[in-house]
Structure formats: C-alpha cells, structure tokens
C-alpha cells in the first residue's frame, strides 16, 4: 500500500505545556487508530509536524489539523509519496525544538517561507536518528 508523508508548519495559538499535552494525547489516540505515524517539533512560536501513513488517512488528518484552533497559519511544506516511514512505531513523537532547528528570529525573518524540502526533512531525519524507544501502548 502506498504511503504519504506531509510536513507542515504553523504558529501555536495560546501555547503552553497543558495544551501541548492535550494535542499529543489526541494525536496519539487518533493516529494509532488510523495507522498514522510521525513527529511534532514544537515550541512557543512554531509547530513543525510530520504525518506519514496511508494516503487517505494522512490527507484527512491534515485537513482536521488545518481546522484546529490551537494554531494558525498552517503551511504545507512537504507532500510526497514514500516507501518507508521515518517514525515507525511512533503514533506521534514529540520534541521541544532543539537548537538544530531554526531560531525564533529566523522564523520571524521568513525561514519557513524560504525552507527547502531537503532542509525540512533534515530536521526530522536528525530527530529519527536519536533512537528513542516509542512508549508502549497502555
């Protein structure tokens, strides 16, 4: 079955740890149900999320996310077919946007708009290389 991968960037609206926890709980539950995997790189000024899985499920998930009022200005940066997942076993991995991603000033200065697909995918490839074991389902 062909797989689809979407990466988008958006700006959090009212970001705090409680909201992030809620997003992750919702995403992990829905993504496990829909066979979607991926990762969310996040901080107070930026969400950068990768979704991967069956094409119809990933497309539907992205459309639901675009309508979510916990963020604004969603911009699709990558939309492609893939053969293998970058985050198998992760219903949604999260990362607090370590120093290897754009700075807050770079985002303000248009880094998202200038980003290349290779640059964006590189952030997630670095995250995947960290070999953190996914949590077990409870």
CATH number for position 72: 3.30.70.100
**Residue ranges making up the domain that contains 72:** 3-128
Q: What is the pLDDT of residue 109?
A: 95
CA distances for 86 relative to 77, 89, 91, 105, angstroms: 16, 10, 12, 28
Q: What is the pLDDT of residue 17?
A: 77
- What does pTM read for this prediction? 0.86
Is 14 inside any structural domain?
A: yes
Q: Rounded mean pLDDT of 83-106? A: 83
Residue 76 bridge partners (DSSP):
8
Is 136 inside any structural domain?
A: no
Count of the separate structural domains present in the chain: 1
Is 114 inside any structural domain?
A: yes
Q: What is the pLDDT of residue 20?
A: 78
């Amino acid at each position: 079955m062909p797989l689809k991968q979407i990466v988008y960037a958006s700006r959090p609206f009212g970001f705090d740890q409680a909201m992030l926890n809620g997003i992750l709980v919702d995403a992990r539950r829905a993504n496990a149900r829909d066979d979607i995997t991926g990762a969310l790189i996040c901080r107070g000024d930026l969400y950068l999320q990768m979704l991967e899985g069956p094409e119809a499920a990933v497309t539907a998930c992205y459309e639901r996310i675009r309508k979510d009022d916990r963020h604004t200005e969603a911009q699709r940066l990558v939309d492609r077919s893939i053969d293998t997942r970058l985050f198998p076993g992760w219903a949604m991995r999260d990362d607090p946007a370590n120093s290897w991603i754009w700075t807050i000033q770079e985002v303000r200065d248009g880094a998202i708009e200038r980003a290349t697909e290779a640059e964006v995918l590189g952030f997630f490839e670095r995250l995947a290389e960290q070999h953190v074991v996914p949590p077990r389902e409870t």
